[in-house]
Structure 1
Amino acid sequence: MSERSGFPPVPDLVLPHPVVDNHCHLDIARDGAALPVEEALARAASVGVTRFVQVGCDLPSARWAVEASAEHPQMIAAVALHPNDAPLHGADLEAALDEIERLATAHDRVRAVGETGLDFFRTGPDGVAAQTHSFRRHVEIAKRHDKTLQIHDRDAHDAVLEVLDSEGAPDRWVMHCFSGDADFARACLDRGAYLSFAGTVTFKNAADLREALAVAPRDRILVETDAPFLTPAPHRGRLNSPYLIPHTLQVMAEVRGADLGTLCAQIDRNTEAAFGGAW
């Protein structure tokens, strides 16, 4: 596939130890472009990104995630209604949540419930009640079926923690695309979170994120793309794909003063622990 689609070149760096992209959306086309799944997986494998968590964020993409994880041994699935999607269901929200629970138990390659959570940036006050109810139901589903919970949190740090404190967090839960500072990182870590860092940690204006990364214990750090979004520097603004994770990991290693291979191996172990074992 040519690069006119907006996808950056494959990095020269091959990671010294394989890692997992624990949050990607390989089904989503952005700006009218998407890599075929087989090509996305092959490009990623060429730089050492060998396993993936394919994340559903509405009913069609959740169904796709389940099907794709059954077809590709490198992939497991996460299923949920995104917090911005939940208010759109109106009176049908309960039926949609029931479908998410059915998909979460469809087969053993569905390891996670996510991405759920709260987003007060795109959804206004009228959607808060539906978002909160949906988030609580997702927490319940994850706990009942022993699934990892993946949380989307945008401009809602305190509210996310309030829900988790009132419901009780699952044994395994991930702050997807962690977006807080060091103090919020500590608050999440105190509650048992894994912190997942995306390409945003490479942005010049992301000093708070880098401080959060620096204080996180080494056994609580994950990496992701959120592809096709959040492309790391030096390609910010172009299309993202799992093969670009080396750019993010280089910055993460620098922030932590860590050897890149050691960090990759640790993240690989962490991801298996966060998602209930190897696949």
Structure 2
Amino acid sequence: MAGSTGNDKSAPPPLPEPLAVPVADSHTHLDMQTGTVEEALAKAAAVGVTTVVQVGCDLAGSRWAAETAARHEAVHAAVALHPNEAPRIVLGDPDGWSRQGARRPGGTEALDVALDEIAALAELPQVRGVGETGLDYFRTAPEGVAAQTYSFRRHIDIAKRCGKALVIHDRDAHDDVLRVLAEEGAPDVVVFHCYSGDAAMARVCADAGYYLSFAGNMTFKNAQPLRDALAVAPLERVLVETDAPFLTPAPFRGRPNAPYLIPVTLRAMAAVRGLGEDELAAAVAANTARAFGY
């Protein structure tokens, strides 16, 4: 629409200056963004973001992720039931299944059926990760915690059996996420997506060999704990992501996010680390390829 202004919160941010060293967006949701996959990949490639990991959050999204990765060389898939999806299934909430086009009964049997399909998808070669899975105490009521925890344990087992990276969603549940990982025995590769802990937790994750992926929220004014965590994280364990369409980095917070905005976050990360953007980009690119095995 003609006459759109820079204050239009619905307008996509402009393309940033391209990175000289190509990087990957280690966590995005293309199915939740406007436009086509081809358009998103083209815009990203134009600024040096040449690879994306498309993450599923339910059965329909995981199927779509696998199908999209099979069609596009620049896309790798991760498949899972999001932590908030498991209680919906167990408690019989039809919203948890509406995107699959049919209502199904709740209960652990329904959850097991869904997890069995995630396990089958995880075996596909274009699927490089199992996730996002984990625990979310922000949106889940206490009666849903058992379903979340059961689902998380099943995803850990799937990742280990398939030899794929485990992609963690951890919201207000740091201690329990780390506890369950220790109890189950973590897979060889664990990625904390949209890392949300502090510097002390970052050191714990570093000692365990986990990867920490930072998103646009590390640029927010109130996000000093994230910047402190980034400052102490081993460089060889740092990733960058958008979690698009969410968590658009400053100064575009509140506007639509997409993989092409990775350079904005990466440059902010480089400033925190006291590194040149090329050096950080090279490390992040190598780390992402190593973590997801492509």
Equivalent-residue separation in structure 2 for 1:16 and 1:8 (angstroms): 20
Deviation at 1:161, TM superposition (A): 0.5
Give yes or no for the alignment of 1:98 onto 2:103: no
User: What secondary structure is seen at the aligned counterpart in 1 of 2:213?
Assistant: strand
Q: How far off its partner does 1:10 sit?
A: 1.1
Counterpart residue number, 1:8: 13
Structure 1 counterpart of 2:58 = 58
From 256, 261, 265, the equivalent of 1:244 is: 261
* 2:227 counterpart letter in structure 1: R
CA distance in 2 between counterparts of 1:111 and 1:186 reads 26
Tell me the distance in 2 between the aligned counterparts of 1:234 and 1:189. 30
Secondary structure, aligned partner of 1:27: helix
- Match of 2:32, SS? coil
The letter for the 1-side match of 2:262 is I
Residue aligning to 2:163: 146
Partner-residue secondary structure (3-state), 1:210: helix
Q: What SS class does the counterpart of residue 227 from structure 2 fall into? A: helix
* CA deviation profile, 1:177-224 (whole Å, cap 9, x unmatched): 000110011111111100000001111110000000000111000000
How far off is 1:128 after superposition? 0.2
In the alignment, what sits opposite 1:28? 32
Contact preservation (8 Å) 1:177, 1:198: yes
Where do 5+ consecutive residues of structure 1 fail to align? none
What does 1:76-91 align with in structure 2 at a 5 Å threshold?
Answer: 76-90=76-90, 91=107
TM normalised by structure 1 equals: 0.95
1:134 aligns with 2:151: yes
SS of 1:94's equivalent? Answer: helix
Question: Is 2:292 aligned against 1:275?
Answer: yes
Deviation, structure 1 residue 35 = 2.3
- Name the larger-Rg structure: 2
In the alignment, is residue 258 of structure 1 matched against residue 275 of structure 2? yes
| 1:53 Cα deviation from its structure 2 partner | 0.4
Q: Counterpart in 2 of 1:169? A: 186
Q: Distance in 1 between matches of 2:143 and 2:171?
A: 16
Structure 2 CA distance for aligned equivalents of residues 8 and 218 of structure 1: 29
Deviations 1:148-203 (A, max 9, x none): 00000000000000100100110011000000110011111111100000001111
Quote how far apart the aligned CAs of 1:14 are.
0.8
List, as ranges, runs of 4+ consecutive aligned residues in structure 1 with deviation greater than 6 Å.
Answer: 1-4
Partner Cα distance (2:62, 2:199) in 1: 32
Q: Distance in 2 between matches of 1:214 and 1:144?
A: 33
| 1:137 CA displacement | 0.1
Instruction: Report the aligned-residue RMSD.
Output: 1.3
- Work out the CA distance in 1 between the residues paired with 2:153 and 2:26: 22
- The secondary structure found in structure 2 opposite 1:180 is coil
Partner of 1:114: 131
Whole-angstrom CA distance in 1 between matches of 2:206 and 2:220: 23
1:37 positional shift:
1.0
Alignment partner of 1:177: what SS?
coil
Give the total of aligned pairs.
271
Aligned to 2:71: 71
Corresponding letter in the other structure for 1:255: V
Aligned residues: percent identity? 63
| C-alpha separation in 1, matches of 2:263 and 2:128 | 25
- 1:46-79, Cα deviation, whole Å (9 max, x unpaired): 1000001000010000000000000000011000
- Cα distance in 1 for partners of 2:131, 2:83 equals 10
Give yes or no for contact 1:169–1:191 (8 Å, CA) kept in 2.
no
- CA distance in 1: counterparts of 2:256 and 2:284, whole angstroms: 24
TM-score by length of 2: 0.90
SS at match of 2:39: helix
